[in-house]
Amino acid sequence: MAPKRGAAILETDFSDEEYQDYPASLIDSAQNEKGPHSPTKALRQYQQPLVRKGGVKRGRRGIPPAVPDATAWLEEKSAMGLTERLKGLDIGGRMSGAESSVGGDDVGGGQQGDGSSGGWEEDHGDAGNTPSWDSDTHSHGYTEEQLSVYHDAVDSFTAGFYFIEDTVFAVEGWNIKKEESTGLWYHLEYMREEGVVDVACTCPLALQNRVCIHQAFTKDLDIESYFDCLQSTSTQDSDAVICVRQQVPNSDEVDTMFSVKSRTQPGLKGRAIVTHKGTLPTAGVWRCSKSHSGAYRCTHIPEAKRALKELLGLAGESDMPEDTGSPVAKEVLVPARPLATLSRHGAISYKPILPPVSVMIPKDEHLYSRPPPFRDAPTLPLPIDEHSTCACPQNARSMFNKDADIVTKNCRIFTLTNGVHSAKIQLQQCPTCPGKRRRHIGPDLRERGLFNYNNSVIVSHELLDDYTISYCTSETPFSAYVTVMEHRYATVNATFMGEDLFRTVWFAYISIQAFENDMGCSICGSAPETIIWDGVTVAFHKKHLSSTISPPTEKSSQSISRPLVKNLRGQQLITDATLRKQVRQVIKSFKVDSGQTSGDGDGVDQPGAGEGEQEEDAFAEDDLVVDDITRIDTVYGKLNDLCPALGLLFLTAYGFDAYESKIRPSIVYRSFFLQIAAEESILQMVNPPSLTRLRDFIANPMENRLSTLLPIPGLFQLLKLHGNIQGLIPMMTWIADRASSVWHDITVDERPIPVILPNESAQADWRLTGCFYSLEQIRHRPDYPKLISDLKKEDSSRGGDTCGKFYSEYGEKSKMGGIMAGWCTHSVCYGFHCIPSSEGRNDVFSAMVTRWPVAPKRVIYDFACALGPYCLLREPEFFKNTLFAIDDFHATGHTKCSPAAFLYEYANADPRLISINSSAGECGNSALRRIRKSVSYMSQERAIIYTKTFLSVWNRFRIKNLKLS
């Protein structure tokens, strides 16, 4: 019977232990490709039989006896990513991403046996799969080089080796020949008995009584010191432990992998790998590595399902429709690796590397002479020199010792156009790292145009720079670039490295590349007078947020406290909210110009309206006229009480005569009265410097001095049009008095913000904090204990007559809030910081307060209508000379804001402001969207580095193209 729609799909597989119970004759029959297949093992596939060199007989059950080296014994398969490894059954019927008893992908060395010479090879003659047995081979059959490569893979997280509980781990299969993970997962458990470590593993090689790479790695390593997450006893309340839970790239679905105990066999043998792909526990696809006797009777999947429901907060709920999306189902993700590290150690190369040649700028330091691109294979071993080091886990690197022995090892050099070269490299055993770490001192190779990742994998600068330019100029995820490189390498009969390894190498490379002195514009200076702020949702999942994130909004124990600062209501020019609304309604009623009879404003009557309809419209229009005239009379009376000169001006522009003649007042009157009736603070229209100029003009109100009022464009344009300056002096005095009163009320604490002393200004690592600005932090963000908005998240449901744009566009999301970036008018980024939640005024305020020596003269921001009062209430002295304005691009969305909040209002009065490109920030943010998808799947530190590199390259292109240097 087919499963019901929306129900979870359970796929079958076969157990590891059942394979051991089959008679040898049935296995021999199954291994014959032309022979019959077992009816109960219809999907089981076996590798081709292995033939002993020299015709030696094979061992029991068709399995070769233990030999010193058998890394080619199993069939090869290419490694798969996390998404692919959880997709389903492969060609052989095995469970991708789950345990399997016959796993040709898990290629490993054999156990040392009777010491007989000769290896094992597949009968198709591919003897190249078998590594040579040399003096470096250990008792378990793996060479020093093989263990070193696997160790590096675990260090860099390209091979999964994750702690579950107690002494149990989930380990990923490893292909020794290709030196890449296979995407198949198994269990491993170690134990100590009288000081001796013994290891059990469920991978195919270990189940055949041979030593697998996982066992050799665990035995050879001090596992307790290597993993700092081990616990003495189990702390899991459930039989199912979630190992990995990550979102599928380019999909809304989530991959989850569980390690599930058996109720009847609590040991390692009873454990199963269970995988789920979907958005809800009761939907999607479930698979279990031990569901061999009937998938719907599997006992592991229900345990995993219960654990997933508890994680998502759905415990106790029964079946749910598949299309009933729950946001928490996608947000609750379990990271599979540490969040604050790129790898457990750095790369061998450590010297700063020049930026890509196409984005070099004059400010770049001459670190060394750039070599030509490395493309041809070296004829001699890559030499070690006095600058060679080891990537020790401690801060100090071990340096080359001329008196110590030098050894020669094999390495691979990956190039951009000529494929991969096999070469030799000179190394020296590291005296600092423990012997089991297998680390060596190796050459830096910077002057050769090479990046030495781990003495085994070496990549040309040309190749790594090519990816940097690719993703900065067009949307190029790692997966897409690796696919392109695989094609290029195939044309020269070579194999490119896996995606995980390339990603790890690139991040190690970019971490030492000298992208310096590129977060600034030579024209605008170190602290631009006009700064454009904008937030962009280039964000990683909240699951990756770690405690190291430190935006400027964080307060310090050394922050100055301002308990006198409190919320101040009624900062508008007109304090009567009803009157403000009525003024705006009167302005809105004047929407038809003289001579216009149609709503379209084209002066043409609309056809199709009958006499009856026209009569009904006339009655309705009569009612509106009465309301409008009554409202005009009311507004005039109230304005006359506030200021007779203002009332008379209103009557001139919006009185009965103007209404009756249907002459729409000049846009200058409309703009002025919208500012008079604005819901914003009067300080948005008249800030302290403008107030000083207004007082100066009132003292000497001459027509040739009108330019004094340029910072108050509404009043400047009004006086130019109206002409009667003397008659408006009382109104200007009333405006100045009201602005002075509000300024006095908010200036309650004039203490300057303390500057951080030089010995206190140690800058934290931006790769961990997610905060990078060209200006170093010079202050701590102050604390305002009496302001509610500083104690809790800002209200997202605000509306009414105030501007609601800020509150409507940023709601709850599954990712962190993105980044806040500051730009000059030439679209050069001056820095950014990660926003843990949604974008807010606090991000812009804190960035300027903590880093700008003096507040910028002009701050352009999408939500400047809300930012201005926010900043002036908290730090009036710091921001008293700052103009807060909305850029032209976002102005259309602010339907409830007065013209005093828009930059174009000031540019209309002062032509010198036309040169301000208010959309410069939006240009940069549009480019940042190229990396949005890639960043969304990254961990915190990688996302920060990826974003910073993009902005550095973007700035360098701007500096070069516009000749800003």
Cα–Cα distance, 589 to 665 (Å, whole number): 11
- CA dist., res. 349 & res. 496, Å (int): 21
Q: Which helix (H) or strand (E) holds 301?
A: helix 300-312
Spatial separation of the C-alpha atoms in residues 175 and 74, rounded to whole Å: 10
| Helix or strand holding residue 233 (H, E) | none
Of 283, 348, 367, nearest to 321 by C-alpha is 283
Pairing of strands 254-260, 240-247: antiparallel
pLDDT confidence bin for 468, thresholds 50/70/90: very high
Distance CA 633, CA 644 (A): 14
Quick one: tokens of 187? 């269990």
The answer to whether residue 339 scores a pLDDT higher than 80 is: no
d(CA 535, CA 924): 11
Tell me the DSSP string of 516-582. Answer: -S-SSBTTTBSS-SEEEEEEE----BGGG--TT---TT-B-TTPPB-TT-------SSS--HHHHHH
Give 185's contacts (C-beta < 8 A, 6+ positions apart).
85, 97, 98, 99, 160, 170, 171, 172, 173, 243, 257, 273
Structure tokens at 670: 């409309």
Mean pLDDT computed over 113-133:
33
Q: How far is CA 692 from CA 490, 623, 742, 855, in A?
A: 73, 47, 14, 18
DSSP string computed for 446-498? GGGTEEESSSSEEEEHHHHHHHHHHHHHS---HHHHHHHHHHHHHHTT--PPP
Q: Please give the average per-residue pLDDT across 39-53, as a whole number.
A: 37
Q: At what angle do helices 940-961 and 920-928 cross, to 10 degrees?
A: 130
Task: Report the pLDDT value the prediction gives residue 278, as an integer from 0 to 100.
Answer: 85
Identify the burial level of 230 via C-beta atoms within 10 angstroms of its C-beta, where 0-12 means exposed, 13-18 middle and 19 or more buried. middle
Candidates 250, 890, 206; CA nearest to 532 is 890
Between the alpha carbon of residue 668 and those of residues 656, 738, 895, the distances in Å are 19, 22, 18
Structure tokens belonging to residue 829: 């980024």
Among 500, 505, 638, 495, smallest CA distance to 574 is for 638
Q: How confident is the model at residue 936 (pLDDT cuts 50, 70, 90)?
A: confident
H/E element, 428: strand 420-429
For residues 297-301, average pLDDT:
81
| Tokens found for residue 902 | 């828009």
Model confidence at 45, pLDDT cuts 50, 70, 90, reads very low
pLDDT band at 739, cuts 50/70/90? very high
- Residue 827 Cα distances to 514, 676, 860, 888, angstroms: 22, 34, 13, 15
- The pLDDT value given to residue 445: 95
CA distance 917 to 426: 56
Measured at the CA of 908, the angle between CA 530 and CA 699, to 5 degrees, comes to 90
What's the distance, CA 931 to chain centroid? 9
Contact 129, 76 (CB under 8 A): yes
pLDDT at 20 over 50: no
Phi-psi region of 660 (alpha: psi -120 to 50; beta: other; left: phi over 0): alpha
In which band, very low, low, confident or very high, does the pLDDT at 640 lie, cut at 50, 70 and 90? Answer: very high
Pick 426 or 59 by higher pLDDT: 426
Average pLDDT, the chain: 76
Tokens of 723: 């002409």
Name the DSSP letter for residue 442: B
pLDDT in tens, 531-573: 999 888 888 877 777 888 889 999 888 899 999 999 999 999 9
Give the 3-state secondary structure of residue 114: coil
**Do 26 and 312 touch, CB atoms closer than 8 A?**
no
3-state class (DSSP) for residue 429: strand
| Percent of the chain predicted with pLDDT > 90 | 38
State how far the Cα of 734 lies from the Cα of 11, in Å rounded to an integer: 79
Provide Rg for the chain, Cα atoms: 36
Assigned token pair, 682: 């009067």
Provide the CA 616 distance to its chain's centre, in angstroms: 60
Whether the per-residue pLDDT at 118 is higher than 50: the answer is no
pLDDT in tens, 152-187: 788 767 788 888 888 889 998 988 877 778 888 899
What was the pLDDT predicted at 418? 92
Contacts 24+ apart (CB under 8 A), 194-203: 197/223, 200/268, 201/171, 202/16, 202/99, 202/268, 202/269, 202/271, 203/99, 203/103, 203/106, 203/108, 203/171, 203/173
Decide which of 608 and 882 is more confident: 882
Structure tokens at 178: 């290709």
Least confident of 30-39, 567-576, 708-717: 30-39
Least confident of 426-435, 501-510, 925-934: 426-435
Mean pLDDT lowest among 436-440, 501-505, 534-538: 436-440
Residue 184 phi/psi, 5-degree rounding, is -100, 140
Mean pLDDT of 111-126: 32
Give one word for 605, left, alpha or beta, with left for phi > 0 and alpha for psi -120 to 50.
beta
**Rounded Cα gap, residues 119 and 113, in angstroms:** 11
Contact assessment for residue 146 and residue 213, using Cβ atoms and an 8 Å cutoff: yes
- The mean per-residue pLDDT over the stretch 136-142 comes to 65
Q: How far apart are CA 179 and CA 248, in angstroms?
A: 25
Name the residue among 363, 370, 242, 365 with its Cα closest to residue 304: 242
Please indicate, yes or no, whether the overall pTM of this predicted structure exceeds 0.75.
Answer: no
- Find the distance separating the first CA and the last CA of the chain, reported in whole Å: 72
pLDDT band at 761 (very low <50, low <70, confident <90, very high): low
Task: Say if residue 676's pLDDT is above 90.
Answer: yes
Rounded to an integer, what distance in angstroms lies between the CA atom of residue 94 and that of residue 13?
6
| CB of 548 closer than 8 Å to CB of 387 | no
pLDDT band, very low/low/confident/very high, at 378 (cuts 50, 70, 90):
very high
548 φ/ψ sector (left φ>0, alpha ψ -120 to 50, else beta)? alpha
pLDDT band at residue 794 under the 50/70/90 scheme: low
Residue 18: predicted pLDDT: 39
Contact yes or no for 399/355 (Cβ under 8 A) = no
Q: Averaged over 76-98, what is the pLDDT?
A: 35
pLDDT band at 861 (very low <50, low <70, confident <90, very high): very high
Q: Which of the residue ranges 275-284, 318-327, 566-575 has the most confident prediction, judged by mean pLDDT?
A: 566-575
- 738: confidence class by pLDDT, cuts 50, 70, 90: very high
